[in-house]
């Protein structure tokens, strides 16, 4: 007859044996190129059987007993506290006895502590004024409109319902300059007052950076004439100056006044109507 | 025969280790310290293993992370990927991205270690949260353990921060989107926002500085802090000894359970092995964050659907659900991400930090406790806990509202609008239900949740009144 203890002993031994086998397996798999799945299986089996063996051992082969350990009560006994107080006051009280040096020492340490924070400013060494950097983009009046390969665009390059990501010439890839050029039916356009002349035959241009948290507004839904942001599902109405119509974005996408140069190429007639991307405290 | 030989060898081994102890004691006088450690009593309850799971996940993270650090190149500088992965062959990508793909495809065992590292990170945070919930619902944070609760909350914050930093390192499309949103959240802070974002990123997003900076945070600063705080956490634990649940022979002045050696040590090593088994199984068999499929970061593109790691999902959900409300203060803008991205997590962690003191206000109990409460003991605490669980759980769900909409065949805007109401209303309903149930259970201490009758829930206030009057 096999006792429970015997069975547990055998079980644990078998489990550790399996760990050893799995270990060899891991070695072989590694030498043969290290297939990810096989290595994972090997390691999982090795550690799982180790766990089983140890658990069997703890459960069945160790005496099951509840031990009791007393807690020492939390504040130290008065005798020890008095001893501590006496020790601290042994040579009178050095800090209390020399008030002037003590205060100056405090002052010295406080000044050092404040100055120690200054190097944080070093983290920013390329930019003078963050709010200015955020407000500016390379778009200027007369800047030619190019696509992401640097090709200069003519109005005819964008088909109806089409969308192209554009940059000012010479600044391809500049994150804050990124804009979208979309073509809509000019008859439907209802741009805010004062922007009537900003489109070229239904071509309008907006910053590509979502005004919520700055994701690129990458999707143009032709049926609704909306630009959609993949990050938190904001949508902007292209026909009405890209005002937000859904999602958490609260400000319209800044618009870029478009025009056509003497050479027939698309140009900007100024910068964006507002700072691009996510909002910030000093945003005007 | 063989068995006897093995036993003899084992006994020799034991003698050798004791020989080692003797030699050490001759030099360091460690007998009493070691005796105390070996005799330390641990309570026998599964829920005391949760913190240990977190600890062992951290061990797994350190081991796998060290391996990864030999191959990862934290730089935004571009180079040509020339490794085995055909999809990227000869493309110009950042060194960070190239090396992340390289260590997945070209380094032997690299993909396994990378995936194991990622899974272990998810488990690490999950174990911390679960451990914290256990401590919350059983009142383990009460005097004298407030300090360890505070260290615990800090560990959670650091674990989340380090998880996010690690997720952001490979410079792939998903992590780039995450960083962009983090940048916008930093920008949204009143007064200091622009400076905070620019100091962190070294300029305008994306810039060249963020990946090396996150790297040093991820491999040195944050894990160093985590390790130090784990040390403090456990030092305090040893000093104060474990709490335990009420039971025969258990009281506020003792701990009852198994000793460190041998029972507890065996159990704990079993747990360590089990955790390693799980993380390696996941790492070997379940693909996670395949950066080569997401593609390199490109400021002009964002992919959908995109979800962050689960422990950031509640923030993502809050960002998605928060209505388009921006306001100005003295003419300065407070943008939409501020409330869900800064205020919400700030308040969340602030309340967690001061919870031991808030709990005192609710329960009017300022005494020291070493015996744990049953969760039913304080219906108000139960209600708060259930509210928080459902609120953050629903936010996490809302973080995938596009996937949800897809699954249900509904427009995403419908889901978004519904969720706005659901996350506000449902947690209060759950909290009220939890309050009523906890009260009924408290009035019927021998009852379990599944055996509870409607009558008992309805009558619980009466019974409670009676017991209170009877007791006084
Ligand atoms: S970034 Fe566009 S909706 Fe949030």
- Smallest CA–CA distance, residue A210 to chain B, in Å, is 10
In chain A, whose CA is at the least distance from the CA of B243? A71
Q: Report chain A's C-alpha Rg in angstroms.
A: 36
Q: What distance in angstroms lies between residue B312's CA and the mean position of ligand 1's atoms?
A: 16
* Mutate: best of A12, A137, A214, A220, partner B, most B CBs <10 A: A214
Q: Do A68 and B256 touch (CB under 8 A)?
A: yes
**Atom 1, ligand 1: residue with shortest CA distance:** A213
CA distance A66 to A75: 27
SS (H, E, C) chain B: CHHHHHHHHHHHHHHHHHHHHHHHHHHHCCHHHHHHHHHCEECCCHHHHHHHHHHHHHHHHHHHHHHHHCCCCCCCCEEECCCCCHHHCCCEEEHHHHHHHHHHHCCCCHHHHHHHHHHHHHHHHHHHHHHHHHHHHCCCCCCCCHHHHHHHHHHHHHHHHHHHHHHHCCCEHHHHHHHHHHHHHHHCCCCCHHHHHHHHHCCCCCCCCHHHHHHHHHHHHHHHHHHHHHHHHHHHHHHHCCCECCCCCCCCCEEEEEEHHHHHHHHHHHHHHHHHHHHHHHHHHCCCCCHHHHCECCCCCCCCCCCCCHHHHHHHHHHHHCCCCCEEECCEEECCCHHHHHHHHHHHHHHHHHHHHHHHHHHCCCCCCCECCCHHHCHHHHHHHHHHHHHHHHHHHHCCHHHHHHHHCCCHHHHHHHHHHHHHHHHHHHHHHHHHHHHHHHHCCCCCHHHCCHHHHHHHHHHHHHHHHHHC
Beta bridge partners of B79: B93
CA distance B357 to B363: 10
pLDDT-based confidence at residue B346 (cuts at 50, 70, 90) = very high
CA distance B148 to B154: 10
Tell me which residue of B341, B338, B381 sits closest to B359, measured CA to CA: B381
More confident residue, B91 or A51: A51
- Write down the pTM of the prediction: 0.94
> Which atom of ligand 1 is nearest the CA belonging to A249?
3
Q: Does residue A210 line the site of ligand 1, with CB under 6 A?
A: yes
Q: Does residue A229 line the site of ligand 1, with CB under 6 A?
A: yes
Substitution site in A207, A219, A232 for ligand 1 pocket (most atoms within 8 Å of beta carbon)? A232
Q: What distance in angstroms lies between residue B301's CA and the mean position of ligand 1's atoms?
A: 13
Half-sphere CA count of A115, side-chain side, radius 13 A: 6
CA distance A238 to A226: 6
* pLDDT for the residue B4: 83
Tell me which residue of A40, A35, A32 sits closest to B105, measured CA to CA: A35
> Which atom of ligand 1 is nearest the CA belonging to A213?
1
Cβ neighbours of residue B83 under 8 Å, at least 6 residues apart? B89, B98, B101, B102, B105, B106
* pLDDT for the residue B1: 66
CA distance B144 to B166: 35
To which residue do tokens 């040195």 refer? B220
Q: Do A36 and B112 touch (CB under 8 A)?
A: yes
Is the per-residue pLDDT at B246 higher than 70?
Answer: yes
Cβ neighbours of residue B420 under 8 Å, at least 6 residues apart? B321, B323
Q: What distance in angstroms lies between residue A247's CA and the mean position of ligand 1's atoms?
A: 8
Q: Report yes or no: B305 and B402 within 8 Å, Cβ to Cβ.
A: yes
Beta bridge partners of A267: A144, A259
SS (H, E, C) chain A: CCCHHHHHHHHHHHHHHHHHHHHHHHHHHHHCCCCHHHHHHHHHHHHHHHHHHHHHHHHHHCCCCCEEEECCCCCCCHHHHHHHHHHHCCCCCHHHHCHHHHHHHHHHHHHHHHHHHHHHHHHCCCCCCHHHHHHCCCCCCCCEEEECCCCECCHHHCCCCCEEEEEECCCCCCHHHCEEEEECCHHHCCCCCCCHHHCECCEEEEECECCCCCCECCEEECCCCEEECCCCCCEEEHHHCCEEEECCCCCCCCEECEEECCCCCEEECCCCCCCCCCCCCCCC
The mean pLDDT value for B210-234 works out to: 98
* Mutate: best of B78, B142, B183, B184, partner A, most A CBs <10 A: B184
Cβ neighbours of residue B277 under 8 Å, at least 6 residues apart? A43, A44, A45, A46, A47, A48, A50, A51
This model of the complex carries an ipTM of 0.94
Is the per-residue pLDDT at B415 higher than 90?
Answer: yes
Q: Does residue A231 line the site of ligand 1, with CB under 6 A?
A: yes
Q: Which two structure tokens, joined as six digits, stand for B396?
A: 């996490």
Tell me which residue of A52, A67, A41 sits closest to A13, measured CA to CA: A52
* pLDDT for the residue B467: 53
Q: Do A282 and B111 touch (CB under 8 A)?
A: no
pLDDT-based confidence at residue B472 (cuts at 50, 70, 90) = very low
Q: Do A130 and B322 touch (CB under 8 A)?
A: no
Half-sphere CA count of A38, side-chain side, radius 13 A: 14
Question: Under CATH, to which class is B46-306 assigned?
Answer: mainly alpha
Cβ neighbours of residue B127 under 8 Å, at least 6 residues apart? B50, B51, B53, B54, B57
> Which atom of ligand 1 is nearest the CA belonging to A232?
3
Q: Which member of A44, A279, A283 has the closest CB to residue B280?
A: A44
CA distance B97 to B157: 27
Q: What distance in angstroms lies between residue A253's CA and the mean position of ligand 1's atoms?
A: 11
* pLDDT for the residue B16: 64
pLDDT-based confidence at residue B301 (cuts at 50, 70, 90) = confident
* Mutate: best of A136, A231, A236, A243, partner B, most B CBs <10 A: A231
Beta bridge partners of B197: none
Q: Which member of B115, B188, B255 has the closest CB to residue A278?
A: B188
* pLDDT for the residue B470: 43
* pLDDT for the residue B465: 54
Q: Which two structure tokens, joined as six digits, stand for A272?
A: 């964006």
Q: Which member of B266, B272, B335 has the closest CB to residue A58?
A: B266
- CB < 8 Å to B115, chain A: 36
**Atom 3, ligand 1: residue with shortest CA distance:** A232
Q: Does residue A209 line the site of ligand 1, with CB under 6 A?
A: no
Tell whether A120 is within 8 A of chain B (Cβ). yes
Q: Do B326 and A250 touch (CB under 8 A)?
A: yes
Q: Does residue A234 line the site of ligand 1, with CB under 6 A?
A: yes
Tens of each residue's pLDDT in chain A, 284 residues: 568 899 999 999 999 999 999 999 999 999 999 999 999 999 999 999 999 999 999 999 998 888 999 998 888 999 999 999 998 888 777 888 889 999 999 999 999 999 999 999 999 998 888 999 999 999 999 999 999 999 999 999 999 888 999 999 999 999 999 999 999 999 999 999 999 889 999 999 999 999 999 999 989 999 999 999 999 999 999 999 999 999 999 999 999 999 999 999 999 999 999 999 999 998 87
Half-sphere CA count of A134, side-chain side, radius 13 A: 25
Alpha-carbon A264 to chain mean position = 42
Q: Which member of A40, A233, A244 has the closest CB to residue B416?
A: A233
pLDDT-based confidence at residue B328 (cuts at 50, 70, 90) = very high
> Which atom of ligand 1 is nearest the CA belonging to A278?
1
Report the DSSP pairing between strands A163-168 and A145-147: antiparallel
Cβ neighbours of residue B143 under 8 Å, at least 6 residues apart? B356, B366, B367, B368, B369
For residue B281, what are the CA distances in angstroms to A48, A171, A197, B94, B277? 10, 48, 63, 31, 6
For residue A268, what are the CA distances in angstroms to A145, A174, A179, A209, B330? 7, 16, 11, 18, 33
Is the per-residue pLDDT at B460 higher than 70?
Answer: no
Give chain B's mean pLDDT.
92
- CB < 8 Å to A216, chain B: 299-302
CA distance B43 to B236: 16
Q: Give the Cβ contact number of residue B129 at 10 Å.
A: 19
* Mutate: best of B46, B94, B109, B366, partner A, most A CBs <10 A: B109
Q: Do A282 and B332 touch (CB under 8 A)?
A: yes
> Which atom of ligand 1 is nearest the CA belonging to A217?
2
Q: What distance in angstroms lies between residue B273's CA and the mean position of ligand 1's atoms?
A: 43
* pLDDT for the residue B466: 53
């Amino acid at each position: 007859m096999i006792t429970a203890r015997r069975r547990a002993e055998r079980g644990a031994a078998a489990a550790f044996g399996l760990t050893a086998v799995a270990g060899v397996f891991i070695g072989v798999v590694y030498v043969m190129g290290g297939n990810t799945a096989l290595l994972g299986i090997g390691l999982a089996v090795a550690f799982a059987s180790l766990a089983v063996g140890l658990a069997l051992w703890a459960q069945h082969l160790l005496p099951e007993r509840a031990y009791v350990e007393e807690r020492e009560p939390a504040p130290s006994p008065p005798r020890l506290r008095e001893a501590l107080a006496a020790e601290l006051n042994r040579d009178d009280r050095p800090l209390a006895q020399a008030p002037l040096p003590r205060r100056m020492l405090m002052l010295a340490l406080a000044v050092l502590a404040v100055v120690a924070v200054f190097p944080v400013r070093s983290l920013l060494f390329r930019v003078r004024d963050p709010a200015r950097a955020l407000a500016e983009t390379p778009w200027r009046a007369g800047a030619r409109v190019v696509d992401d390969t640097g090709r200069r665009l003519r109005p005819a390059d964008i088909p109806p319902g089409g969308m192209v990501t554009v940059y000012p010439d010479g600044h391809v890839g500049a994150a804050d300059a990124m804009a979208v050029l979309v073509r809509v039916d000019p008859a439907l356009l209802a741009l805010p007052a004062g922007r009537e002349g900003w489109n070229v035959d239904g071509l309008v241009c907006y910053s590509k950076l979502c005004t919520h948290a700055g994701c690129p507004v990458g999707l143009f839904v032709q049926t609704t004439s909306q630009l959609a942001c993949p990050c938190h599902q904001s949508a902007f109405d292209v026909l009405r100056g890209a005002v937000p119509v859904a999602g958490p974005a609260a400000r319209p996408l800044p618009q870029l006044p478009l025009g056509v140069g003497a050479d027939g190429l698309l140009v900007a007639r100024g910068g964006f109507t507002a700072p691009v991307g996510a909002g910030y405290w000093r945003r005007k | 025969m063989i068995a006897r030989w093995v036993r003899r060898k084992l006994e020799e081994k034991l003698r050798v280790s004791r020989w080692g102890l003797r030699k050490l004691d001759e030099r360091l006088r460690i007998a009493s310290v070691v005796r105390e450690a070996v005799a330390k009593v641990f309570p026998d309850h599964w829920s005391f293993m949760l913190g240990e799971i977190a600890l062992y996940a951290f061990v797994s993270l350190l081991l796998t992370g060290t391996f990864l650090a030999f191959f990862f190149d934290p730089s935004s500088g571009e180079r040509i990927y020339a490794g085995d992965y055909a999809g990227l062959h000869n493309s110009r990508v950042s060194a960070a991205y190239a090396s992340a793909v390289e260590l997945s495809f070209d380094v032997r065992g690299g993909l396994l270690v990378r995936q194991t590292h990622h899974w272990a990170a998810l488990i690490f945070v999950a174990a911390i949260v679960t451990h914290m919930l256990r401590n919350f619902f059983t009142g383990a944070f009460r005097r004298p353990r407030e300090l360890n609760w505070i260290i615990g909350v800090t560990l959670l914050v650091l674990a989340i921060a380090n998880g996010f930093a690690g997720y952001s390192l490979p410079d792939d499309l998903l992590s780039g989107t995450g960083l962009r949103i983090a940048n916008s959240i930093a920008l949204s802070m009143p007064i200091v926002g622009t400076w905070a974002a620019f100091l962190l990123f070294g300029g305008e997003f994306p810039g060249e500085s963020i990946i090396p900076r996150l790297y040093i945070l991820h491999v040195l600063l944050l894990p160093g802090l985590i390790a130090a705080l784990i040390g403090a956490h456990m030092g305090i634990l040893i000093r104060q000894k474990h709490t335990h649940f009420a039971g025969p022979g258990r009281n506020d002045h003792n701990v009852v359970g198994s000793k460190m050696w041998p029972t507890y040590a065996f159990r704990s090593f079993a747990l360590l092995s089990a955790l390693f088994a799980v993380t390696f199984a996941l790492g070997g068999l379940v693909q996670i964050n395949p950066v080569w499929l997401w593609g390199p970061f490109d400021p002009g593109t964002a992919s959908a659907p995109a979800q962050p790691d689960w422990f950031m999902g509640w923030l993502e959900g809050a960002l998605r659900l928060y209505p388009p409300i921006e306001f100005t203060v003295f003419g300065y803008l407070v943008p939409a991400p501020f409330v869900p991205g800064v205020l919400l997590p700030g308040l969340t962690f602030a309340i967690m930090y001061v919870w031991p003191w808030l709990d005192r206000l609710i329960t009017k109990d300022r005494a020291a406790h070493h015996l744990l409460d049953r969760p039913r003991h304080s219906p108000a605490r139960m209600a708060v806990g259930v509210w928080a669980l459902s609120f953050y759980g629903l936010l996490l769900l809302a973080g995938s509202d596009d996937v949800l909409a897809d699954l249900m065949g509904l427009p995403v805007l419908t889901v978004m609008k519904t969720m706005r109401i659901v996350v506000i209303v449902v947690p209060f309903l759950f909290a009220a239900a939890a309050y009523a149930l906890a009260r009924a259970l408290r009035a019927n201490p021998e009852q379990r949740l599944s055996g509870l009758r409607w009558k008992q829930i309805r009558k619980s206030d009466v019974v409670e009144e009676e017991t209170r009057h009877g007791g006084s």
